[in-house]
């Protein structure tokens, strides 16, 4: 018999402003912190791709067994866009995002929690 | 002078149901189609990571200069969760998603467009 997995998932989308530009331009630090964030929510890391752009900006994409965690940074604006999507009920993407908010220390942020894989998507505030 | 980029971005989040399970379990085909979807919206591909899971399921994550495009599949349920986030105004993630809807031919789907990087996020329906 084919093993089946729940399609139900949670996807947190997070924009942060007022973050230290040196941190947002450090591929090494962001890669390390995204891996720690994945661990903070109990996810299993499959692969990590990090890219530093010229003249500035970094993307880190972490492929998880449970889906993905990403950050895209604009150091010159103190801005980054993040998301964490996890399927199943054992891993909570909110824990990864709460970890990253503590690390990035944004002056402001805006976020949503999207409930996916169970009929029409439901969008909720994320605190 | 430091070059600056707009933080404004669009993020389309898409759940599809009723998709052919063989297609959803083909790492090769999904990798090819996500690369074509990225090209369909004019994005620049930085890296592609594809992973086939046991006993089934595939993840493809495409890192773009403009952000990312991903798919996570559940062949046994005919389900996949996708997202495409692009920054700036020249690349429209809707074009990538419309391309993938044509390829996947889902019986049903649910999607949202999230406007990011310009103050509080705005969530809109996606057709």
Partner-chain contact A61 B68, CB within 8 Å: yes
| Known catalytic residue at B67 | yes
CA A92 to chain centre: 11
ipTM above 0.85, yes or no: yes
Average pLDDT rounded to a whole number, residues B75-103: 97
pLDDT band of A5, cuts 50, 70, 90 = confident
Tokens of B74: 């559940």
pLDDT > 90 fraction of chain A, expressed in percent and rounded: 92
CB B80 within 8 A of CB B16: yes
| Lookup: tokens for B41 | 């919206």
A108 at interface of B, judged by CB pairs closer than 8 A? no
Please tell me which residue in B11, B67, B68, B84 is annotated as part of the active site.
B67
Mention every residue, 6+ apart, whose C-beta is less than 8 A from residue A42: A90, A91, A92, A95
pLDDT, tens only, A9-21: 999 999 999 999 9
- Give all domains of chain A, ordered by start, each with its CATH number: 9-72+95-125 (3.60.90.10)
Residue A78 touches partner B, C-beta closer than 8 Å: no
Rounded mean pLDDT of B45-69? 97
pLDDT band, very low/low/confident/very high, at A3 (cuts 50, 70, 90): low
Q: Is B89 a catalytic residue?
A: no
- Count of residues making up chain B: 127
CA distance B18 to B34: 19
The predicted pLDDT at position A89 comes to 87
- Is residue A2 over pLDDT 70? no
Say which of A67, A70, A119 has its CB closest to residue B72: A67
pLDDT band at A85 (very low <50, low <70, confident <90, very high): very high
Please count the other Cβ atoms lying within 10 Å of the Cβ belonging to residue A72. 29
Angle of helix B27-40 relative to helix B93-104, nearest 10 degrees? 140
Chain A hits for B119, CB-CB cut-off 8 Å, are: 110
Question: Residue B1 pLDDT more than 50?
Answer: no
CB-closest option in B11, B47, B112 to A49:
B47
Contact flag A5-B57 (C-beta cutoff 8 Å): yes
Q: How confident is the model at residue B4 (pLDDT cuts 50, 70, 90)?
A: low
User: Structure pTM?
Assistant: 0.96
Q: Tell me the average pLDDT of chain B.
A: 95
Pairing assessment for the beta strands A108-116 and A122-125 based on DSSP bridges: antiparallel
The shortest CB-CB distance from B67 to any of A4, A72, A76 is to: A72
Per-residue pLDDT band for A1 (boundaries 50, 70, 90) equals: very low
CA–CA min distance B100, chain A (Å): 17
Does B127 reach chain A within 8 Å, measured CB to CB?
Answer: no
């Amino acid at each position: 018999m084919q093993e089946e997995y729940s399609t139900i998932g949670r996807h947190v989308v997070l924009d942060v402003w007022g973050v230290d530009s040196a941190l947002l331009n450090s591929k090494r630090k962001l890669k390390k912190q995204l891996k720690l964030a994945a661990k903070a929510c109990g996810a299993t890391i499959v692969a990590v791709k990090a890219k530093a752009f010229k003249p500035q900006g970094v993307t880190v994409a972490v492929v998880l067994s449970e889906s993905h965690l990403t950050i895209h940074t604009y150091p010159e604006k103190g801005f980054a866009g993040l998301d964490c999507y996890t399927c199943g009920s054992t891993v909570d993407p909110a824990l990864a995002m709460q970890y990253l908010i503590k690390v990035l220390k944004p002056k402001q942020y805006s976020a949503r929690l999207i409930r996916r894989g169970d009929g029409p998507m439901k969008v909720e505030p994320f605190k």
